[in-house]
Amino acid sequence: MSAVTDLKTRIQRALAAAFGEDFAQTDPMIAATNDPKYGDYQVNVAMSLSKKLGKPPRQIAQDLMDNLDLGDTFEAPEIAGPGFINLRYTAQYLGQRLQTMSKADRNHDRLGIPNVTNPKKVIVDFSSPNIAKEMHVGHLRSTIIGDCIARVLEFQGHDVLRLNHVGDWGTQFGMLITYLKEVAPEALTTANAIDLGDLVAFYKKAKARFDEDEAFQLTAREEVVRLQNGNEDTLKAWRLLCEQSRKEFQVIYDLLDIQVNERGESFYNPYLADVIKDLKTLGLSVEDQGAQCVFLDGFTNREGQPLPLMVQKSDGGFNYATTDLAAIRYRLNEDKAQRVIYVTDSGQANHFEQVFQVARKAKWIPETVEITHVPFGLVQGEDGKKLKTRSGDTVRLRDLLDESIEKFGAIHDARLVAEERSETEEFKSNVARIAGLGAVKYADLSQNRTSSYIFSYDKMLADKGNTAPYMLYVYARVQSISRRGEIDFATLETPVQLQEPSELALAKHLLQMEAAIGAVADELLPNRLCQYLFELSQKFNTFYDACPVLKAEDEGLRSSRLMLCDLTARCVKLGLNLLGIEVLERM
């Protein structure tokens, strides 16, 4: 990136020299080209200045070029089309950059990519399953996307607090505890009296009762209020239920290698009353049909009247809007967060917009703090509808992950047979686990987050296309070269020679790693990194096909190509790790 910054300065100097000091701050409009035949960068400023200067764009481009000193980074520029200026890196410059990249901090390998200059305290709120329910496919995206965003921001040097805002509070517990008192009271006083599967079944029945039985509904609501007021028996029952769920969640987090700190909705209970008090004092919250409501700008109901955000129910209970408001205050005032990122499905977009609006109206969010909802689409079945099992039930996350591991294991076994290879059980299960889980993660992250995607084991486990197995294969391929040639990449010390088109293309792509990571951090779109890695893998395979490495014509070229191989593998490893995916030395 420093090359582009430098280029910008040089062009601005040329603009000033050619057209006067007024143009010293004009944006040169530098962009990466979309076709190698136009070089590496195109400067588009000539077209935009045409009207202002009253000259044809190509003339402007020529005047600019006449005043431009490019140093030794780029070849002589060319004017093309309506007035594009095309710039191409010199092979020598690319070689130097690659050597710098190769030598940098091999031990904790970040390929010489520096930390950001202004690290921030960032909270990433993700995963957020509900107590007394199993994690299902609906939690997959939040967990994977949130983890990836956290990894990328941590890599950049930000102080990231990962928070699991678990649903451990509210009406659901009123329902569940009320129901359990009737049918399984021992579950409320004894640890592990029933297992989680049963708990889920009880939850469904409790919900059904709640929906149809008014008396039950009332009792359940009273139980919620008891919980929120700290009644001992109710609290004890609640703690038991949470502990049981927590163990189950941890199994999944361990499998997926996810670190996240539990801080559930209940954590904010002591702060809820103050939220209402302060909203009332500010005159924002008013009573409406017995409930406390804040009326919103830009939201109306069917009759065109302003829509409220309800912050306290008519029975005195608080709801998730109250909790989210209390969480905002706590995170900004106590955690001192400068950026807060919420990773939830796009169905909650309205809710967050409303909550943020209320918090802003109350002046709880300083201008310097960035608070963002990062929405994502649904996981759909092959029929385009919400993913379900054949019997129509929600897909348990555990089952989904196990199935992916098992399916990849079967594919891999078949390949071993075809290649007449014999491997240990340990080797096989490790490959299946890493590729199977990697495939699920990669399939999710490689989609544009905002759209829904169709879940397909066949596609995500395929060895062709933009998949985890394809990327893992590239890494393993490079390691195979080092084993075959008995190469220690760490000791490579050589000038890089770039002659073949496939070498140049690979070299240029390797140098864009930092920009790719930066794009994810800025846009919070992990698919940018996936796209980068996929293109890197393709360029590597093209290079590998065209250029002999171990059998290169001379020692210098051999070392140079080995360095390209090594850098590719390190980029793939770092990239996959930022996506939460491990690599395999052999597969």
Q: Which of residues 204-223 bind RNA (CB under 7 A)?
A: 221
Q: Pick from 95, 146, 469, 575: which binds RNA (CB under 7 A)? A: 469
Interface region with RNA, contact rule CB under 7 A, candidates 182-190, 392-400, 452-460, 569-577: 452-460
Residue 357, interface with RNA (CB under 7 A)? Answer: no
Cα–Cα distances in angstroms (integers) from residue 424 to residues 429, 463, 477, 567, in the given order: 9, 22, 20, 30
Q: Which residues contact 333 (CB under 8 A, 6 or more apart)?
A: none
Q: Is 262 exposed, middle or buried (0-12, 13-18, 19+ CB in 10 A)?
A: middle
Give the footprint of RNA on residues 130-169 (CB under 7 A): 130, 167, 169
Q: Pick from 15, 547, 569, 578: which binds RNA (CB under 7 A)? A: 547
Cα–Cα distances in angstroms (integers) from residue 562 to residues 268, 425, 490, 494, 552, in the given order: 55, 32, 11, 10, 10
Q: Which residues contact 190 (CB under 8 A, 6 or more apart)?
A: 240
Contact 477, 538 (CB under 8 A): no
Give the footprint of RNA on residues 32-71 (CB under 7 A): 33-35, 38-39, 42, 44, 47-48, 50-51, 57
Closer by beta carbon to RNA, 542 or else 577 = 542
- Spell out, one character per residue from 270 to 299, where the chain touches RNA: x when CB under 7 A holds, - when not: ------------------xxxx-x----xx
Residue 538, interface with RNA (CB under 7 A)? Answer: yes
Give the footprint of RNA on residues 113-132 (CB under 7 A): 130
Cα–Cα distances in angstroms (integers) from residue 89 to residues 2, 34, 84, 505, in the given order: 13, 15, 16, 11
Beta-strand pair 339-345/121-125: parallel
Closer by beta carbon to RNA, 110 or else 431 = 431
Give the footprint of RNA on residues 481-510 (CB under 7 A): 481, 484-485
Interface region with RNA, contact rule CB under 7 A, candidates 9-17, 136-144, 187-195, 548-556: 548-556
Closer by beta carbon to RNA, 311 or else 401 = 311
Residue 377, interface with RNA (CB under 7 A)? Answer: yes
Residue 300, interface with RNA (CB under 7 A)? Answer: yes
Alpha-helical regions (H) of 282-388 = 320-333, 349-361
Q: What tokens were used for 408?
A: 């990849």
Contact 11, 31 (CB under 8 A): no
Residue 20, H or E segment? none
Q: Pick from 525, 564, 574, 576: which binds RNA (CB under 7 A)? A: 525
Quickly tell me which residue has 């520096």 as its tokens.
114
- How many C-beta neighbours within 10 Å does residue 417 have? 10
Tell me the backbone φ, ψ of residue 188, rounded to 5 degrees: -90, -10
Residue 349, interface with RNA (CB under 7 A)? Answer: yes
Interface region with RNA, contact rule CB under 7 A, candidates 29-37, 148-156, 240-248, 331-339: 29-37
Least distance in Å: CB of 186 to RNA? 25
Q: Pick from 114, 465, 501, 556: which binds RNA (CB under 7 A)? A: 465
Least distance in Å: CB of 131 to RNA? 10
Residue 550, interface with RNA (CB under 7 A)? Answer: yes
